[in-house]
Each structure stands twice: as structure tokens, then as C-alpha cells.
Structure 1
Amino acid sequence: MSSERSQDEPRVVTASREIEAPAEVIFELIADPRRQPGWDGNDNLAEVVHGERIHAVGDVFSMRLTNGKVRDNHVVTFEEGRRVAWRPASEGQDPAGHEWGWEVEPLEEGRSRVTHVYDWSELTDESRLARARGTTAEHLRASLDRLSEVARG
């Protein structure tokens, strides 16, 4: 496929599932970069390099990937206990135009609906387009499934 943007090419991928754990437990796993490698369904995250638990838009945390590269993640959405999203960037650079997001909705009896969103609608970095196109709902579901396992203990 050409790297030119197709008008009908979907650039937002989502996956949702119910998890048998309270929303606050799930959100804590997502908002703490130190915990992210434990539930990353793509086995892409090795360790946190810099950054604490996310508390606000504007926070930045850095992750070492399994390939050794470091990504600075700029938080662009934050609602405590409910929503968080960040835009990754190569170390020391501006974000590349894609975004990873999470929404956690409390349900009855200590369960939650979790939605994972990958939005690459503003991605222009040619070197990242193939990987972005390859990120499917199944990839997002893999993280949701692992998150469920970790949240349930």
C-alpha cells in the first residue's frame, strides 16, 4: 500500500471488553508507567525510564521499548479514574502524531468496561506508517486481556 493517505483508510482503532475488577484498580495499572510492561499485550514495553504515576495533562513519562529505543509519552487527556491518553515521541522530540488512549467505565458488582483506542489520524512520520497500519483491534484486545489478568490478580 502506498504511504499516501487513503481517504477511506481507518485511522482510529478501538477494542473494548468487560473486566472483573473495580475501575480504580484498572485505572491505577494504566496510569502507572511502572506497571505498563506487565500488561502490554504487544510485548513492546521493557521498562519505565523516567516518570511517575500520571496525574494530569502535560505529564511526560519515558519508556524503554523491547528494541532498546526510548519513547517520551506526552499525556494529552486525563480524567482521574476514567480516561487517559498519551502521544509518543522519539526521545527528546515532539510527538509523532499518534495517540494511545484508555477509557474505564465502572459497572455493577466491581466490574468495569475498558476501551483501548489507537488513533493515528495525525501521524505523518513515513517511518511509522506501516506499523500504525498493522495495529489492529486484535492487538489492542491483547493488552485488554493481559490487563484483565493483572487486575484480577
Structure 2
Amino acid sequence: MTENKITVERTIQASTAEVFDVLSNPQRHVELDGSGFVQSDDRSNRIQAVGDVFTMNMSGDHMGGDYQTENHVTGYSANQLLAWQTAPAGQEPPGWQWVWELEAEGSQATKVRHSYDWSNVTDAELLQKISFPLVSQSQLEDSLTKLDQAATGS
């Protein structure tokens, strides 16, 4: 962990295509969420390019209960990279980003690196309101465990 970023990684016994298939489907994100904030997808399509936006139904005390986020895809490379910035629905992203990097380790194993980066959050009022990080390193590691289960079916 750096001052404004947490990165975790693990090797999953599945191909990069199998792992990417799970990650690029917002309907499956509730399965992967180690934080407990994600409740469901809101009729989103599969992520296919930078500029795509997908909406998630969320819940958390930090937002006073139920809310929605719009996730703006900032990085996309099939079977290698997915990244997005999250914003409250109807607002511009305030600067935090989620990044998934995939690296093949043979044909049936993938090193997955997952980062939560809030280093571009500059709004002083937001920084006072929200105590970053909202998601802990152990919750990110839980997301990797859940991704492993989703990608391998175990």
C-alpha cells in the first residue's frame, strides 16, 4: 500500500480470457465485491471499450444507505486490463479508480493485480467527508478470492 493506493495480487488457475469474461460483465460484480457495498448491476451491458459507463446499485453508511454509482471505463485491453473511475450517479468522477491487470502465466493461469487508487481525489470537502480508503486491503484480497471462485467455478 502506498499513501493513496492499495494493490493486491494473486494467481488464478484460469485463462486470462476466462478471468476477463467475469470482470467485463457488470452483472457479475456483486459476486466479486469484497467490500459489501455492491448490491446489483443496473441493466448494464458488458464492458467493451474505454468510454463505456456501467451503473451499479450500492449501499453503505458512508453514503447514508442506498445509492447508485456510474462507473466510467478509463482502461480497456481485452484479456489484459480493465479500469474505471466511480462517481455518484449523475456526477463527474471525483478521482478514485479501480484497476484490474491480467498477466498470463501459461495457458491456464493468470496473475491478477487489483488496485484501488484515490491519489487523484483533490476535492478538499470530499476528502474531509470520506475517510479514504473506503475499501481495505483485506476486502480487496477478498475480491480476488471471489474472482478466483467465479472464474474457476470452485
Matches of 2:151 and 2:138 in 1, distance apart? 20
Q: Which amino acid aligns with 2:136?
A: T
Residue in 2 aligned with 1:149?
149
Question: How many angstroms does 1:39 deviate by?
Answer: 1.6
Q: Which amino acid aligns with 2:74?
A: V
Indicate which of 77, 91, 94 corresponds to 1:93. Answer: 91
Give the 4+ runs in structure 1 shifted more than 4 A. none
Residue in 2 aligned with 1:5?
none
Residue in 2 aligned with 1:129?
130
Q: CA 1:136 to 1:16, structure 2 compared with 1: closer, same or farther past 3 Å?
A: same
Secondary structure in 2 aligned to 1:133?
A: coil
Secondary structure in 2 aligned to 1:126?
A: helix
Secondary structure in 1 aligned to 2:120?
A: coil
Matches of 1:70 and 1:52 in 2, distance apart? 16
Matches of 2:134 and 2:41 in 1, distance apart? 25
Secondary structure in 2 aligned to 1:108?
A: coil
Q: CA 1:35 to 1:90, structure 2 compared with 1: closer, same or farther past 3 Å?
A: same
1:36 paired to 2:29:
yes
Q: Which amino acid aligns with 2:9?
A: S
Residue in 1 aligned with 2:138?
138
Question: How many angstroms does 1:149 deviate by?
Answer: 1.1
Residue in 1 aligned with 2:4?
11
TM-score when scaled to structure 1? 0.88
Q: CA 1:134 to 1:59, structure 2 compared with 1: closer, same or farther past 3 Å?
A: closer
Residue in 2 aligned with 1:105?
103
What runs of 5+ residues in structure 1 fail to find an aligned partner?
A: 1-8
Residue in 2 aligned with 1:52?
45
Question: How many angstroms does 1:126 deviate by?
Answer: 2.6
Percentage identity across paired residues of the two chains? 31
What runs of 5+ residues in structure 2 fail to find an aligned partner?
A: 60-64
Matches of 1:128 and 1:114 in 2, distance apart? 31
Secondary structure in 2 aligned to 1:51?
A: coil
Q: How many residues were matched structurally?
A: 144
